[in-house]
Structure 1
Amino acid sequence: MVKKLFSFQVLLLLFVSGCNVGAVNNNEYKVLYTNEPSQQDDEKQQPSNYTVAIIPKVINIPYFNAVEEGAMEAGKDLGVKVIYKGPTIADSEHQIKIIDELIQNEEVDVIAVSANDPEKLVPVLKKAQNHQIKVITWDADTLPEARDFFINMVNPETLGRHLMDTLAWNVDEQGEFAIMTGANSAANLNEWLKWIKQHQKEYYPNMKLVEIAATDDDPNKAYLIAKQLLNDYPNLKGIIGNSSVGPPAAAQAVKEAGKAGSIAVVGLSPPNPMNEYLKDGSAQIITLWSPKKLGYLTVALSKNIVTSSYPYDNQEIPGVGKIRRIDDIVIMGEPIDFTKENVDQYDF
């Protein structure tokens, strides 16, 4: 048995708040405002004049719905006006349009974006900076010159290597496997892919990566890709979903093909969409962090930088916990694994 140097223990007590991620907004942009402080006696704060714009890669998928809920909760707790705008498809041009509109309206103090493309967003983000708007990234980064800092959910090497481990554990460390990623241009996904492939080469020589397929974070496209992978590779032993739409689509395809248990499905997804798949054996292990917590942290750090209060290593963020800072990257914490044994403990 190959030694797994980068596996980590599941964090069962990671902060997770229950949230409803089922609501769908059919508009291209979702714009929500809040500047009323929460009524929690120990956390009341006076409404500020600060406005933070949170821009996800795409709206109307469970992962970013949960981020939105955390961001709106932080807005209430911290007395910040929060604008949540996102495109209906994971496309950098749509994000550029949103950012341009925010600059022209002159209403925001901070723009926080999960970038669909690390390079294409640079000019418009620099434009925002020239208009005295603070810029940060979260979930997926841009080039460093276009932002103040990047909020990363986890250490990318640890995550990528762990995803490879979770698949290897479930296929006896041998056989063909495929990866379903999101957009080919997404910097965070490509970083995780790099470490998945590196870990396979170093520790699992009897496993073979046959294809990396891009879903563009589109659930319908992901489902069709998953079915095609099963058809194209009759000896396929496993699928890693490298973005949140991948594992549900792969598990559904595996279930419909009657191959639950013979083709392993692992990867990144909130637990709610994977609950039944984990229980019926169509998926084995799902990994993630709390996206709601990520939304909360992004608003909290956005408020701080308006007054030039920048994050620091081991800083305690109320409602989040201690964060790490390495150079210009904030790391929120460690990921958590969901299995059939513990998935009911989580609701997001």
Structure 2
Amino acid sequence: MPKRPLRHACAALLAVTSLALTATGCGGTTKNDVEHDGGSAATAGKADPGAATKKGLTVGFLPKQVNNPYFTSADQGGRKALARLGSHYEEAGPSSATDTAGQVSYVNTLTQQQVDAIAVSAQDPGALCTALKQAMRNGIKVVTYDSDTDPGCRNAFVSQAGAEDLGRTEVRLLARQIGYKGEIAILSAAQTATNQNTWIGYMKDELKDPRYKNVRLVKIAYGNDDAQQSFQQTQGLLQEYPNLKGIVSPTTVGVKAAAQYLSGSKYKGKVKLTGLGTPDDMRKYVKNGTVDAFELWDPARLGDLAARTAVALSSGQITGRRGERFKAGAKTYTLGANGVIVLGAPTVFDAGNIDRFHF
């Protein structure tokens, strides 16, 4: 079903879904869910790494937010991978990064369409659980990518990089830029965003190291992955903390909006900014001196791996258990605890290398 009809169908389901969420929790397991390795929901049965890759599958991609450049790049990676594997791509999703009820509705619609797998970037770790467990009871494989659900609500999670590495490297990047001294703030996405909160937890832990004794985190602001809100939050941070030395924004929408504000203000070059951004979004801010360095993984590769993981699950090559291995393109991946698959280390972008990257 094309994207527009999907949205219309979901609108009709919204009220019913909201009632279902109110009445039902996401704890426990279903008859097709097996808790293991801390709670990842794997289908009963043993993986067959040598099983043939199935063709003609349909995988529904459900990003946090459609028309977000980051997810456009990621999901195009998924589309291309599925085409190479002889399967089909669907996309559905809300236009707001905080429309959790809308995400639930799209899960229900994809379940009704009887897709073979769903790849979802969750806006909230628990809110999608009831709908995703229903999808799994219907034989649909569930892969989370970019932002996870509770482990018991999906088969596998494709993590863009090690969460601890991301959180700690963000602090290290900014600390070097401010000379390990001064007030800093974090500009995050939504307060419920699983990935953001995990990274922020590691940022706080990194700041406990004695080397940061003169660095003080004064505030965590939330721009809800909305450009205007993130721009206003950046402005508010500088008004509230006139001595602020740096901002970390682990969200592509937030870091771009913060760079836009700083580049046109008296704080350009004085308040350092780093975070997770795309080279195409951040290029001009690196070149005009607003941003020294930032980092990100290749979102197209993330979408590619999410699609290949969905196909491997649907083909029975993996089930989501720790230690299982499967080949995705030229690389072999091993599932970790709770069915986590790590894409790889992020890339740091600066004036010396940014023109080599286009996404």
Question: What is the aligned partner in structure 1 of residue 41 from structure 2?
Answer: none
Residues 324 and 332 in structure 1, CA contact (< 8 A), matched pair in contact too:
no
- Select the residue among 307, 329, 347 that pairs with 2:340: 329
Instruction: Report the alpha carbon displacement of residue 288 of structure 1 after superposing the two structures with TM.
Output: 0.4
| Higher deviation after alignment, 307-316 or 288-297 | 307-316
User: TM-score normalized by structure 1?
Assistant: 0.84
Asked if residue 99 in structure 1 is aligned to residue 107 in structure 2, the reply is yes
CA 1:68–1:199 in structure 2 vs 1: closer, same or farther (change >3 Å)? same
Percent identity reads 33
CA 1:193–1:28 in structure 2 vs 1: closer, same or farther (change >3 Å)? farther
Q: Secondary structure at the match of 1:261?
A: coil
Q: Which whole-Å deviations, capped at 9, do the CAs of 1:116-148 have from their partners, x for residues lacking one?
A: 000111111111111111112111111111111
Code of the aligned partner of 1:71: G
Q: Measure the CA separation in 1 of the matches of 2:232 and 2:243.
A: 18
Q: Measure the CA separation in 2 of the matches of 1:262 and 1:99.
A: 45
How many matched pairs? 309
Asked if residue 184 in structure 1 is aligned to residue 194 in structure 2, the reply is no
Q: Measure the CA separation in 2 of the matches of 1:225 and 1:234.
A: 14
Asked if residue 293 in structure 1 is aligned to residue 301 in structure 2, the reply is yes
- Select the residue among 99, 113, 137 that pairs with 1:130: 137
- Select the residue among 247, 263, 272 that pairs with 1:255: 263
Asked if residue 245 in structure 1 is aligned to residue 256 in structure 2, the reply is no
CA 1:313–1:280 in structure 2 vs 1: closer, same or farther (change >3 Å)? farther
Q: Measure the CA separation in 2 of the matches of 1:129 and 1:326.
A: 21
Instruction: Report the alpha carbon displacement of residue 62 of structure 1 after superposing the two structures with TM.
Output: 1.4
Q: Secondary structure at the match of 2:123?
A: coil
- Give the alignment of 1:132-171 within 5 angstroms: 132-171=139-178
CA 1:230–1:155 in structure 2 vs 1: closer, same or farther (change >3 Å)? same
Over aligned residue pairs, what C-alpha RMSD do you find?
Answer: 2.2
Asked if residue 112 in structure 1 is aligned to residue 85 in structure 2, the reply is no
User: TM-score normalized by structure 2?
Assistant: 0.82
| Higher deviation after alignment, 196-205 or 234-243 | 196-205
Q: Measure the CA separation in 1 of the matches of 2:67 and 2:123.
A: 16
Instruction: Report the alpha carbon displacement of residue 324 of structure 1 after superposing the two structures with TM.
Output: 4.1
Code of the aligned partner of 1:204: Y
Residues 265 and 284 in structure 1, CA contact (< 8 A), matched pair in contact too:
yes
- Select the residue among 57, 77, 87 that pairs with 2:64: 57
Code of the aligned partner of 1:205: K
CA 1:28–1:196 in structure 2 vs 1: closer, same or farther (change >3 Å)? farther
Question: What is the aligned partner in structure 1 of residue 93 from structure 2?
Answer: 86
Q: Measure the CA separation in 1 of the matches of 2:113 and 2:131.
A: 14
Question: What is the aligned partner in structure 1 of residue 317 from structure 2?
Answer: 309
Instruction: Report the alpha carbon displacement of residue 270 of structure 1 after superposing the two structures with TM.
Output: 0.8
Q: Secondary structure at the match of 2:335?
A: strand
Question: What is the aligned partner in structure 2 of residue 211 from structure 1?
Answer: 219
Residues 271 and 286 in structure 1, CA contact (< 8 A), matched pair in contact too:
no
Gaps of 5+ in 1: 1-24, 31-44
Q: Measure the CA separation in 2 of the matches of 1:169 and 1:316.
A: 38
CA 1:218–1:28 in structure 2 vs 1: closer, same or farther (change >3 Å)? farther
Q: Secondary structure at the match of 1:58?
A: coil
Residues 111 and 134 in structure 1, CA contact (< 8 A), matched pair in contact too:
yes
- Select the residue among 30, 55, 64 that pairs with 1:48: 55
Question: What is the aligned partner in structure 1 of residue 200 from structure 2?
Answer: 193
Q: Measure the CA separation in 1 of the matches of 2:279 and 2:324.
A: 29
CA 1:109–1:316 in structure 2 vs 1: closer, same or farther (change >3 Å)? closer
Runs of 4+ aligned structure 1 residues displaced above 2 Å come to: 25-30, 45-49, 311-316, 321-325
| Higher deviation after alignment, 255-264 or 232-241 | 255-264
Q: Measure the CA separation in 2 of the matches of 1:46 and 1:78.
A: 8
Instruction: Report the alpha carbon displacement of residue 242 of structure 1 after superposing the two structures with TM.
Output: 1.4
